[in-house]
A and B are shown apart, each in its own frame.
Chain A
Amino acid sequence: MNTNAINRVIIIGAGQAGGETAQRLRQGGFKGEITLIGEEAFPPYQRPPLSKKYLAGKVDMDRLLLRPASVYAEENISLLRDTRAVWIDRASKRVRLEGGRELSYDALVLATGAKPRALKLAGADLAGVHLFRTAADVDAMKAAFVPGARLVVIGAGYIGLEGAAVAREMGLEVTVIETAVRPLARVTSPEVAGFFLDEHTRQGVRFMLGGQPALIKGEARVTGVSLMNGTEIPADIVITGIGVTPETTLAEHCGLKVENGIVTDENCRTEDPAIYAIGDCANRPIAHYGGRQCRLESVHNAVEGAKLTAAAILGQKAATETPWFWSDQYDLKLQIAGLFNDYDHVVFRGAMSERSFAAFYYKDGRLIAVDAINKPGEFLGVKALIHKGLNVPPDVISDESRTMKEIVAAAG
């Protein structure tokens, strides 16, 4: 046997990125050992529904699972649940688990994800104060989601606003506290943020923008949140959604380069050719954006990392896509294609008043991203344009006399 052959793959992290890697290795014909190590009690499952249909009680854990629990044994994938990896020895290519057991690898995949930022406030450890990351987090908060209960959401990002929308639909009283002067400040334009602010306000959500939480009040259980300006908001439940930090401890301890995530090349390989990093924990050059290093928190990024890594281990190549994201709030489906961050111009199609519109973002005259609200054609159209490296000028894309399909077809 070729001594360079890869016979043992260890994947640390059994989220969507880790789970998909195992699955794609087997689908691609990999015959060696696969060990998938996860800290949670469940086999790999989809996280996006946690703040949407799972919180609302519309889907159960069985339906969140990427694949049935029985598949792992059937496909000879060793799934270690409730298991934490504590050390990587790159010289001897070994991973040590909590409890002391050691496993050897030929290829190691770090899919360790991200951890939610915790509130550094007195009272943040009270009962009724929840983070939003795992199914266990949501299970813990679900019982308190009853009509009339008072919910305070700290952080007006997508996760927080999705939680707020579910809570309003279930009849809770909802207050959102955000330190910035508008919601979604990190992730979209003021125009789109304003639309979501209006929508949530119309749905009965109260916003405390520019609000600085000072203290979570309560004895054993939370009773309210105090702001720096003295305002007190009564609460039965508090959910924090103030962003995540990449889980890079193992990588740092074994000396891999970490800069806002574990740094990799375009094939998800770290500076150690035997180690890959994918998903929320990884920072990878994105081909569609001139190879800019990006740490993306999304299903697209998790799945693409899994595809690229499985292909690399199998000695193959995989295609990449335009980055994309989505968020569901009330009956609004927001679909995002591309990376909007350094845009200098925005134009629109559709009408906010009709709750169906798209914002197209440009940088130096080049289309770089779209936020499409109940406008799926605009989302898919821009996703295809960016993928093909095509540009459509702002005056053409905002021409409502032509359909998005016609515009995309005319572009090439």
Chain B
Amino acid sequence: MPSWIHKPSWVHKPTRKIVLLVTGAIALVLFGALGAAVVLLSGAYSTAATTQHFKITHRLLDAGLRYSVRASASDIQAPILDEPHKYEQGAACYRLHCAQCHGAPGIAPDEEGRGMLPIASNLAQSAREWPAEWLYYVTKKGVRMSGMPAWEFRMSEESLWSTVAFLTRLPSLTRAEYAQLSQYSAQLECESAEGAEMQASEDRTKIVFRQYACHSCHRIEGVVGPKSYVGPALVEWSHRKYLAGTLPNNEENLVRFILDPQAVRPHSLMPKLEVAPAHARQMARYLLELE
């Protein structure tokens, strides 16, 4: 160190400085945690859908979404999308699954979509500003804590891309053109995820449970969710002798029951969830491995 630099006194006592810094940091964290606890336990934080975020929070969340989607979609390569059969089929998917919350040219979102917080994006704008790969990623995976579901469990891979093909045309459609396309697409089907490719892994199975909303009624070992007591808890399941009160508990019966509960027990309150057979098997295997 050149001699003309004045050495402050603490340079000679590095330990003291570190102790001070660390103590300060800990105090700050504790103080923050205490403040957060007070806000949480007092009920001062509003969870009402009428209470908007602060502007800065909203902008930060928006930016966070964009950075996250950009990073996650970086390996995706869009196929050729500008083909009539693709965007026509996509229009069918859009009319069936998207317009309810996102609206369409000249058409407002449905009642369910209007009061949401955050509000569903107007996709004519998203499609102008976002590359197709990002649109695909968000459609496929959904957006956490926003109400946007993951469509990969409800639409085939082909339908996902068709929907994106439609989205890329959306900004250029007038009200009349949309109406015409939508009317034409009414005769087309949006292919469900039934034939979608399944990769079985433990993490993937947990996602599958959540994507069929199983955890809204069942507490499932290893799956984070609400403390629900609507259906039986799916814990230590391999020890259960019976399922649905009467059937021997094994893989085949579990699959049967998951696919069509009323075929097994007509009065069961468990609804039919249109579970893809491969997914039902994945679920059954997972449950039967629970010790």
Say whether A and B bind each other: no
* B interface residues (Cβ-Cβ under 8 A, vs A): none
Binding site for B on A (CB under 8 A): none
